[in-house]
Amino acid sequence: MSLVSRNIRDYLRKVRTHRNVSVKNSPAPDLMAAACPSRDVLRRLTGRWGMLVLWALAEGPQRFGSLRRQVGGISERMLAQTLQGLETDGLVLRHDFGTVPPHVEYALTPLGHEAAARVDALLGWIESSLPRIAQGWNG
């Protein structure tokens, strides 16, 4: 048993006593409601590829192929689908130069940059915290 687990009782008591009473006071966020339209946005954003694509675009506009190479493991099909979803929510702008051969660039909208900032914070945390997270996987 890990050190954390041994102290679980103490830990739970500490957290409980520090719990503010706002649980009952403040109404449950809309996202907690099963029918909230935010759920759709959440799913398009947090699908298997959404946040990774947004993360990649945070560095600057990119073409389809470049994006596909940067996001490891994504198929053409899923990249196209993911980009369309992000476009639906106004996070990504698609610009077709109309040339032959095709040249299409994807860029974050101002709204997309706002989202990307939050995504950056989360993905960056996961990455930098992986050693600590992985510690629990073996013991």
Q: Which amino acid belongs to residue 100?
A: V
Percentages helix, strand, coil for the chain, rounded to the nearest 5? 65, 10, 30
Q: Which does 99 bind (CB under 5 to 8 A by kind): DNA, a second copy, none?
A: none
Among 58, 78, 93, 123, binds DNA (CB under 7 A): 78
Q: Give the H or E element holding residue 106.
A: strand 104-108
Query: How many Cβ atoms are within 10 Å of 48's Cβ, its own excluded?
Result: 10
Nearest approach, Cβ of 50 to a second copy (angstroms)? 8
Q: Which is nearer to DNA, 90 or 102 (CB)?
A: 102
Contacts (CB under 8 A) with a second copy, residues 75-134: 88-91, 93, 95, 105, 107-109, 111, 114-115, 118-119, 121-127, 129-134
